[in-house]
Amino acid sequence: MKISLNKTLLISFISIILISLIITGITSTYMIDKEFNIYLFKEHEEKIENIKSIINSAISQNPVSPDFDGVGLNKYALAEEYLIKIVDANNNLIFDTGMYPLMGHENNSHMNMMGHMMGRMFGNSLENYNEETYTISYDDKKIGTVTIGYIGPSNISGEAIKFKFTLYKSILISSFIAIIISVLIGIIISRQLGIPIRKITTASKNIREGNLSIRTNIKTRVEEISQLSSSINNLASTLEKQESLRNRLTSDMAHEIRTPLTTIKSHIEAFIDGIWKPTPEKLNDCYDEINRLHSLVENLEDINKLEKANYVLNKSIFSLNDELEKIINSLIPQFNKKNLKFNLNIKDNIKVFMDKDKFKQIMYNLLSNAIKYSYDNGIINISSYIKNERLYIDVQDFGIGISSKDLPHIFDHLYRGDLSRSRTQNTEGSGIGLTITKTLVEAHNGTIKVKSDNINGTVFTIEFPLSKVLKN
């Protein structure tokens, strides 16, 4: 049977406290007993010595007929609850307190049931009566014997029993209070941990069921729970954004594929019905639409490649200058369609250690975008340079630019930006080109940044570490 986190934490917390209190109680009781018994034994020895001293004082004052009452022996015995009996050398009784000093023990032990139980526990009963016998000497001659009787191993008094009982009672009360406080603290802590985790679990279930708009909104001082909550929120936000982009991609792709298919279908129907003759011009129109479909399929394949993120770099050393010139020359027909001019500015003769095909793909994607979104008769600047021991490549156009709303997301997976931007320029695509470009740049340990506005156009900057650059 599974137990909730709240109960698990509470049970664990209480168990730890109880174990700690039991260990503390046992240890404390043992140490109190040990030290208290040592103290009582020493005190008992001192009292025995005092009794001997009083007896010796009485004998020194009158060796023939000592006055033990006069020196306070009877009072001392009564106060300290000792039975004292003194006999002379002929075993004649010369002093006896009787049982009266021990009546305090008997009365105290039977005062009430608790006192009786405690008296029995600590041996405070006449059944535990003990005696010690000592020789009385004067001028190195034995003149008698004293017998000292007492209760228990060290004549423990009623006050001592009461004090000891008070100590145990205070430990018991303190333990009880500690348990109550611990339970309250355990409940508070378990709630502080359990409630946020339950909310996170609920949010996770909602995300699994497709409710991507759910957010945890948990306020806690526990760092791990706060990080977990943020991770769940970021996951939901990312999935929600990706879902939106996928839906948009599906809609856009359906629209893009429908258009060439409709054109091809209408042309073929016209050929079949004899309305049109299959002239080279009409067949070329169909061919162009087929090429357009082929391009869309390639874009979908690019998406699949990005999903797998399986880019294996085949690096080699080549001239950056020569490669840039080849790429630009291959794009001259596209420049000419829009009557675009380009400026190639390369300050250094640079050789790089990169994957040449991937580098071509990076530059083709950036330059294709620059051509798509440039105005007719515009200019595109391509420059490369080394600064602060890093290689930089800039691709700048002066076209319609990217809106501030779209700029933070242009490298996001499947993001196509403002639809009006594409429709104004009659461009098409899957929104995967810049994502692939960023992935390829980062595969070379580089970074790509963009600055753009609707007035001054756009500039993409690629930055590679100098370790990947070989300069002549």
Q: Which residue, 434, 442, 436, 447, is CA-closest to 393?
A: 447
> What is the Cβ-side half-sphere exposure of residue 204, based on CA atoms within 13 angstroms?
11
Cβ-count burial 174-198 (b if 16+ within 10 Å, e if not): ebeeeeeebeeebbeebeebbebbe
- R_g (Cα) of the chain, nearest Å: 51
- The dihedral region occupied by 406, where left means phi > 0, alpha psi between -120 and 50, and beta the remainder, is alpha
Measured CA to CA, the distance from residue 239 to residue 137 in angstroms comes to: 104
CB atoms within 10 A of CB 71: 20
Measured CA to CA, the distance from residue 309 to residue 331 in angstroms comes to: 27
Helix (H) or strand (E) run with residue 120 in it: helix 113-121
Measured CA to CA, the distance from residue 393 to residue 383 in angstroms comes to: 6
Tell the burial category of 284 from Cβ atoms under 10 Å away from its Cβ (0-12, 13-18, 19+): exposed
Sheet holding 129-138, edge to edge: 93-96, 83-88, 141-151, 129-138
For residue 418, give every residue at least 6 positions away whose Cβ sits within 8 Å of its Cβ, in sequence order, or none.
Answer: 403, 405, 406
pTM over 0.75: no
For residue 252, give every residue at least 6 positions away whose Cβ sits within 8 Å of its Cβ, in sequence order, or none.
Answer: 416, 430, 431
pLDDT in tens, 340-368: 999 999 877 788 888 898 899 899 989 98
Cβ-count burial 50-65 (b if 16+ within 10 Å, e if not): ebeebbeebbeeeeee
Alpha helix segments (H runs only) across 274-355: 280-308, 320-330, 332-337
Tell the burial category of 285 from Cβ atoms under 10 Å away from its Cβ (0-12, 13-18, 19+): middle
Measured CA to CA, the distance from residue 60 to residue 415 in angstroms comes to: 116
For residue 172, give every residue at least 6 positions away whose Cβ sits within 8 Å of its Cβ, in sequence order, or none.
Answer: 25
Measured CA to CA, the distance from residue 187 to residue 82 in angstroms comes to: 55
CATH of segment(s) 223-307: 1.10.287.130
Annotated domain spans of the chain: 5-180, 223-307, 311-471
pLDDT tens track of the chain, all 472 residues? 666 766 777 788 788 888 888 888 888 888 888 888 888 888 888 888 998 899 888 888 888 888 888 888 888 888 888 889 999 888 888 888 877 666 554 444 333 333 433 443 444 455 677 888 999 888 888 888 999 988 877 666 667 777 778 888 888 888 888 888 878 887 887 777 778 888 888 888 888 888 888 888 887 777 788 888 888 888 888 888 778 767 776 776 777 788 788 888 988 998 898 888 888 888 888 888 888 788 777 767 666 665 554 557 888 899 888 999 999 988 888 899 899 999 999 877 788 888 898 899 899 989 988 998 899 999 999 999 888 888 999 999 999 888 888 888 788 755 555 443 443 444 444 456 788 888 889 888 899 999 998 777 899 999 998 754 454 4
Measured CA to CA, the distance from residue 352 to residue 471 in angstroms comes to: 8
Measured CA to CA, the distance from residue 241 to residue 322 in angstroms comes to: 41
Q: How many residues does the chain have?
A: 472
Question: What homologous superfamily is domain 311-471 in, according to CATH?
Answer: Histidine kinase-like ATPase, C-terminal domain (3.30.565.10)
The pair of structure tokens assigned to 413 is: 């997976």
The pair of structure tokens assigned to 247 is: 């839906």
Measured CA to CA, the distance from residue 344 to residue 363 in angstroms comes to: 13
Tell the burial category of 388 from Cβ atoms under 10 Å away from its Cβ (0-12, 13-18, 19+): exposed
- The residue assigned the tokens 């790089």 is 352
**Phi, then psi, of 114 in degrees rounded to 5:** -65, -45
pLDDT in tens, 428-456: 444 567 888 888 898 888 999 999 987 77
